[in-house]
Amino acid sequence: DMINDTSVAQASASIALASDAASEAVFEHDVVRNLICRQARYPDIATPQDWYMALAYTVRDRMLARWAESVKNYALHHVKVACYLSAEFLIGPQLGCNLLNLGLEEEAREAMDSLGQDLDALLAIEEEPGLGNGGLGRLAACYLDSLASLEIPAIGYGIRYEFGIFDQDIVDGWQVERTDKWLKMGTPWEIIRPDIHYYVSFGGYTRMWNDEQGRLRVEWVPGRQVKGVAYDVPVQGYRVNTCNVLRLWKSEAVESFDFDDFNAGDYYEAVEEKVVSETLSKVLYPNDEPESGKRLRLAQQYFFVSCALQDMLRLMEVSHTPVERFADRFAAQLNDTHPSIAVAELMRLLIDERLLSWEDAWSITQRTFAYTNHTLLPEALETWSLPLMQSMLPRLVEIIFEINQRFLDEVRRALPGDEGSVARMSLIDEQGDKKVRMAHLATVGSHKVNGVAALHSDLLKQTILRDFAAMFPSRFLNVTNGVTPRRFIMQSNPGLARLLDDTLGEKWRTDLTRLDALADHADDATLQEAWRAVRRENKAKLAARIGNITGIAVPPEMMFDIQVKRIHEYKRQHLNALHIISLYQRLRRDPTLDVAPRCFIFGGKAAPGYDMAKLMIRLISGIAEVVNQDPATRDRLKVVFYPDFNVKNGHIIYPAADLSEQISTAGKEASGTGNMKFMMNGALTIGTLDGANVEIREQAGADNFFLFGMTAQQVAALQQSGYRPGHYLEANEALREALDEIAQGRFSRGDKAMFRPLLDNLLNADPFLVLADFADYAACQQRVSEAWRDEKRWARMSIINTARSGAFSSDRAIKEYCENIWQTRAVKIDLAAP
Ligand code: 7GP
């Protein structure tokens, strides 16, 4: 009844609208009220943290009526909701983007000003929730931003980790990890929903029984249960009333405490139970770690997926929709295989608890799910030990067996006598210790499977999912990734945003393809001058920050050549490093050498257990230490390792880049999204034909992209025919010298052993073809240097890159998901309507 109550609707609308119409004075008043009513502080003794909280609550208050209105509308109109299931959401700092999306930035700035507070200083103290590792988690966050901005009903489902990705310190050139205590000051961006909670079972056994109707039923008698409580983060669309929700689950102990029987022993057991239950959502696993001790990780995956599906079923009930219509009301996207146990869990919920037939349940399941793959690296493909899964999720394994049996029957019918295909496609890897192949479960249980860039989607069909693509060709498609221009242009590069407004009007803000018109002005001298001015300012800001953090003075006139991303051998930070060493050698040998003065900036975290990646960080630090203080080169060459690369630091780094390093071994980087952020902000790319680089080059034009290296095909062919790194070493003197200098301890304070593992790996195996691509990379970098000398040409190329970046908005990507996979559409949220 409540949702039809006009007076309630009017009240909600007026709460939301009043705050919009509100003057700066009202905003200011609300901040002070929150300072007192939420922080219990008067202005005269309030700390910056108090002011930040007061401001954040003031902004949040302006989102809540929109949120309630959005939720009400979804329920009322029985619309289809896109559910994005992801173990990671790397959402970044919230205050700035919420101010931007609500259109309240100026109002807030002025209000805080009158209160004697600097908005930028308050934005700077926000601790970001690091609930993701990198690309995959950040992509999920960009997609939530686009869904809300495109007014599409959506829910993000994930885990509320108490500790997110570790913070990185650099000590003596080495990475040192610190735990990320993002909640230590509390967070104003979540609403706890103790009433929205579900129970999730683990362990125990299953048994069959006959119910009163004589139906054969399966009961899972769990060994223990954990409670999942909803923690909601509002996701505000850009200049629209849509406010969606990111629902994160925190694990808690089940209060099954029997007070009558209680004695001291049981009490301590109960406390222990509580501790164990709460560890489930305690910490995010860093990726790229070797498999081991991952029991808790599987438990996390099942935990959040089960909560999400139970929540979706509850929403069906709330809106009085029969469960048979589940797939008409929800589209559920599996962000890689981490949530893929959802396929079996939805089957369990529908069969065991809602008593649907296998066939009906399976039809619903397949129509509900779609699966996005984010990697082809064999070591990153998830498998779970069958015995482990059997002990933790006995009922789910039974269901997986049944799915597999029915599926393999289908394979045998399609390919009679082809037991090779059956073994390859099975959900269970039977070789050695038995394992469940999660990518196969996701593929079989979904109606659509996509890769994240054109090349990657093709390779997916040719490699790891080849048999499936042959059998179900129409299931496979590509959706190239995208990034949100709200955060990565408007919020982090306000200078550029203003210049774009001045040049093009404001339409680009809601339709990024409008940037295209900029290309017509690429040679315009006035635009070029303004363009350079914006870039100069961004670079000066980054230079100042680098000075503060590292003590390294970098002149903003230098070319800023930047590689920021997770540290990984396939991303080849060491290729970049080897080129720097050889450049350094050339400069020492010939001080008059005419090359562009450059500052090479690196940033990124290495997984704590990934020794080679950590050694790569140490190598970069070692090069920086030597190069930066060498009087022979220090005016022309700088090297910086920027510590603790995260979303917040990205805000200052992307807009300051002249050159974006996207140099992965072709075929290994599924898409990349940093490449898109750099391009939008006017950086030129030096890159291989890998991931979305291919499409970036197509958009920018070959003349506006620095291409080098082997193609994915050439890489595969070379590896097939037996790659010999030594061959490339013999042919390249500069390469030999660079490796030799490392071996001599030049970048390790004389320690000749330090980089031995890295050198041995390159010389003996070089699995990512660093040596094979070195010569072409160095030659390409030479072309970069030459292009830099021509200021006008560079400005033109930079402008064209931004102009052609419209295709890489996450809005474009989300529209493709909606049309080609989810069949969802926009719903206008109108606050004024009674
Ligand atoms: C990344 C891919 O490495 C990157 O190329 C892509 O742009 C990004 O996903 C978003 O699609 N993968 C991960 O971050 C990751 O954790 C493990 O993959 C499955």
Mean local confidence (pLDDT), 427-454: 97
Query: Which domains does the chain possess?
Result: 1-77+98-127 (no CATH), 78-93+128-480+818-822 (3.40.50.2000), 492-808 (3.40.50.2000)
Any ligand 1 atom below 6 A from CB of 452? yes
Q: Considering only residues 22 and 183, tell me which one the structure prediction assigns the higher pLDDT.
A: 183
Any ligand 1 atom below 6 A from CB of 173? no
Any ligand 1 atom below 6 A from CB of 87? no
Q: Which helix (H) or strand (E) element contains residue 428?
A: strand 428-429
Give per-residue burial for 291-330: e unless 16+ CB within 10 Å, then b: eeebeebbbbbbbbbbbbbbbbbebbeebeeebeebbebb
* Neighbouring C-alpha atoms within 13 Å toward the C-beta of 725: 17
- Answer whether residue 676 shows pLDDT above 80: yes
- The answer to whether the beta carbons of residues 769 and 715 sit under 8 Å apart is yes
Q: What is the pLDDT of residue 430?
A: 95
Q: Which residues make beta-bridge pairs with 248? A: 158, 231
Take residue 723 and report the two structure tokens written for it: 């790659």
Q: How confident is the model at residue 275 (pLDDT cuts 50, 70, 90)?
A: confident
- The answer to whether the beta carbons of residues 334 and 372 sit under 8 Å apart is yes
Write out pLDDT tens, residues 69-81.
999 888 888 899 9
- The answer to whether the beta carbons of residues 580 and 639 sit under 8 Å apart is yes
Mean local confidence (pLDDT), 163-179: 97
Q: What is the pLDDT of residue 19?
A: 58
H-only helix segments in 629-688:
647-653, 674-680
Q: What is the pLDDT of residue 1?
A: 42
Any ligand 1 atom below 6 A from CB of 286? no
Backbone angles phi, psi at 358, to 5 degrees: -55, -45
Mean local confidence (pLDDT), 264-292: 77
Query: Which residues are catalytically annotated?
Result: 374, 565-566, 571, 673, 677
Atom index in ligand 1 nearest the CA of residue 456 equals: 5
Cα 447 to middle of ligand 1, angstroms: 22
Mean local confidence (pLDDT), 373-400: 95
CA neighbor of 309 nearest in space, from 104, 85, 122, 529: 85
Any ligand 1 atom below 6 A from CB of 135? yes
Backbone angles phi, psi at 126, to 5 degrees: -65, 130
Q: How far is CA 76 from the centre of its chain?
A: 32
What does pLDDT average to over the chain?
94
Mean local confidence (pLDDT), 356-385: 96
Q: How confident is the model at residue 834 (pLDDT cuts 50, 70, 90)?
A: very low
Q: Considering only residues 581 and 3, tell me which one the structure prediction assigns the higher pLDDT.
A: 581
Backbone angles phi, psi at 641, to 5 degrees: -105, 110
Mean local confidence (pLDDT), 202-219: 94
- The answer to whether the beta carbons of residues 161 and 282 sit under 8 Å apart is yes
Any ligand 1 atom below 6 A from CB of 482? no
Write out pLDDT tens, residues 213-244.
999 999 999 999 999 999 999 999 999 999 99
Q: What is the pLDDT of residue 6?
A: 62
- Answer whether residue 255 shows pLDDT above 60: yes
- Answer whether residue 179 shows pLDDT above 60: yes
Atom index in ligand 1 nearest the CA of residue 373 equals: 19
H-only helix segments in 95-206:
95-102, 105-114, 119-124, 135-149
DSSP characters for 753-788? STTHHHHHHHHHT-TT-HHHHHHHHHHHHHHHHHHH
Cα 667 to middle of ligand 1, angstroms: 13
Cα 235 to middle of ligand 1, angstroms: 23
Q: How confident is the model at residue 10 (pLDDT cuts 50, 70, 90)?
A: low
- The answer to whether the beta carbons of residues 111 and 27 sit under 8 Å apart is yes
- Answer whether residue 465 shows pLDDT above 50: yes
Any ligand 1 atom below 6 A from CB of 658? no
Write out pLDDT tens, residues 289-306.
655 558 899 999 999 999
DSSP three-state, residue 593: coil
- The answer to whether the beta carbons of residues 553 and 544 sit under 8 Å apart is no
Pairing of strands 174-178, 224-236: unpaired
Any ligand 1 atom below 6 A from CB of 188? no
User: What is the C-alpha radius of gyration for the chain, rounded to an integer number of angstroms?
Assistant: 28
* Burial classification of residue 460, based on how many CB atoms lie within 10 Å of its CB (0-12 exposed, 13-18 middle, 19 or more buried): buried
Q: What is the pLDDT of residue 2?
A: 44
pTM value is 0.96
Take residue 235 and report the two structure tokens written for it: 């996701």
Cα 401 to middle of ligand 1, angstroms: 29
Take residue 266 and report the two structure tokens written for it: 């049981």
- Answer whether residue 786 shows pLDDT above 70: yes
Atom 13, ligand 1: which residue's CA is nearest?
Answer: 136
Pairing of strands 659-662, 684-687: parallel
Distance CA 49, CA 341 (A): 41
Mean local confidence (pLDDT), 806-816: 98
Q: How far is CA 152 from the centre of its chain?
A: 20
Write out pLDDT tens, residues 687-718.
999 999 999 999 999 999 999 999 999 999 99
Write out pLDDT tens, residues 732-742.
999 999 999 99
Q: What is the pLDDT of residue 24?
A: 78
Length of the chain in terms of residues written = 834
DSSP characters for 115-141? TT--HHHHHHTPPP---S-SHHHHHHH
Any ligand 1 atom below 6 A from CB of 340? no
Pocket test for ligand 1, best of 142, 374, 677 (most atoms within 8 A of CB): 374
Provide the total of helices (H) and of strands (E) in the chain, helices listed first: 33, 22
Pairing of strands 476-478, 637-642: unpaired
Mean local confidence (pLDDT), 202-215: 94
Q: How confident is the model at residue 277 (pLDDT cuts 50, 70, 90)?
A: confident
Cα 336 to middle of ligand 1, angstroms: 9
Angle at 825 between CA 819 and CA 829, to 5 degrees: 155
Distance CA 75, CA 502 (A): 41
- Tell me which DSSP letter residue 101 carries: H
Q: What is the pLDDT of residue 600?
A: 98
- Tell me which DSSP letter residue 697 carries: H
Mean local confidence (pLDDT), 412-419: 97
Pocket test for ligand 1, best of 136, 566, 568 (most atoms within 8 A of CB): 136
- Answer whether residue 23 shows pLDDT above 90: no
- Answer whether residue 258 shows pLDDT above 50: no
By 3-state DSSP, what share of the chain in percent is helix, strand and coil, each rounded to 5? 55, 15, 30
- Answer whether residue 574 shows pLDDT above 80: yes
- Answer whether residue 763 shows pLDDT above 80: yes
- Answer whether residue 331 shows pLDDT above 50: yes
Does this complex have an ipTM over 0.95?
yes
Q: What is the pLDDT of residue 12?
A: 61
- Answer whether residue 14 shows pLDDT above 70: no
Distance CA 769, CA 724 (A): 9
Q: What Cα–Cα distance (Å) separates residue 518 from each residue in 509, 657, 703?
A: 14, 19, 17
- Answer whether residue 259 shows pLDDT above 70: no
Take residue 819 and report the two structure tokens written for it: 């049309």
